[in-house]
């Protein structure tokens, strides 16, 4: 019986472009004015930094939209619980 594997991978070039576009949109949005919100890429990790949970939710939506628009499979991204940095 034939078998096959399904693998979900993200194109790293498209990921970098989506992060850059997300950061540009965040910098231009009114609800982020004066904040130091940003998306950072470290190897195979994305770190979203913002002042509050509402901004993090908005940033995640922006990032996922940019990834989907570039043809990346969002289901390949695992979202960890929120962590406060201090």
- Write down the pLDDT at residue 69: 93
Is residue 83 pLDDT above 90, yes or no? no
pLDDT digits (tens, 9 = 90+) for 6-56: 666 677 888 899 999 999 999 999 989 988 999 999 888 899 999 989 999
Distance CA 86, CA 5 (A): 42
Domain CATH for 55? 3.30.70.990
Phi, psi (deg, nearest 5) at residue 72: -85, 145
Is residue 79 pLDDT above 70, yes or no? yes
Instruction: Provide the domain count of the chain.
Output: 1
The predicted model scores a pTM of 0.83
In a domain, 3, yes or no: no
SS3 of 14, please?
Answer: helix
In a domain, 86, yes or no: no
Query: Range of 17's domain?
Result: 12-76
- Write down the pLDDT at residue 78: 85
The DSSP 8-state label assigned to residue 79 in this structure reads P
């Amino acid at each position: 019986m034939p078998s096959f594997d399904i693998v979900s991978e993200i194109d790293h070039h498209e990921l970098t472009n989506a992060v850059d576009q997300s950061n540009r949109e965040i910098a231009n949005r009114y609800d982020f004015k004066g904040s130091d919100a940003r998306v950072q890429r470290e190897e195979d990790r994305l770190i979203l930094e913002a002042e509050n949970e509402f901004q993090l939710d908005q940033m995640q939506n922006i990032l996922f939209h940019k990834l989907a628009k570039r043809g990346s499979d969002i289901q390949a991204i695992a979202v960890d619980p929120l962590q406060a940095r201090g």
